[in-house]
Structure 1
Amino acid sequence: GGRYVHVIADGDIHTSGDLIKAIACGADAAVLGTPLATAAQAPGRGWYWPSAAAHPDTPRGALLQVATDEDRPDLAQVLGGPSDDPYGELNLVGALRRAMAKAGYCDLKEFQKVGLSARA
């Protein structure tokens, strides 16, 4: 028995590797605040205010500048590439597809059940 519960990964997802690990650990979705804030179409123009800093009455926390106007990639490049970035900050969906293929999975639900190992 049991009941299926949807899991959303939130926090410290900055690169494609972070997204892949979250999905492999069972997340159904991921909050991509920082990567999306870097996109040229983002309304914050490279600035990002994390949801952890939210407060109903007063702003608190840090306002982060994650990109400058000169180096903001297109949203399509952030999500689907192509990427010339060696740090994994572009082509998030393409990187997920590649990781799934390298691990031998073609179905996302099966990839969410991939065997995990802890490194000491």
Structure 2
Amino acid sequence: MSDPRIRTLKIKTGVVKRLAKEKVTYEREAAQQRDRIQKFKDQGKDEYDIRKQEEVLQESLMMVPDCQRRLVKAFEELKKILESEQDLKEAEAYAEAEKVILEAEIQLPQPGEDLKTC
């Protein structure tokens, strides 16, 4: 019989992993979009095309703080589960969750950093 706590641990681990990856993807997309806009400007492209590309950039930038907030919440939930379920330390899912926590920690805002400016 499978322990429901392990199932919950696996789900929460997956959520943290996905949100950290999603945040990185949006940040990478925004950087690529900035480069594309600069290239358009350097090539003297039409102002309309540049404005449209800037709108795409703003959409990507709006997603980063949202991902950040969801990641912080999921990270805290997973961390609480790890702290409260110490008896599961021998489980493979527990070790995976600890690994994901360490990997996701670098995606969290630093102390004093505002979520809106990420």
Q: Which structure shows the higher strand fraction?
A: 1
Structure 1 or 2: larger helix share?
2
**Which of these two proteins has the greater Rg computed from alpha carbons?**
2
Identify the TM-score tier after normalising by the shorter chain: under 0.3
How high is the TM-score relative to the length of structure 1? 0.27
- The structure, 1 or 2, with the larger RCO (C-alpha pairs under 8 Å, 6+ apart) is 2
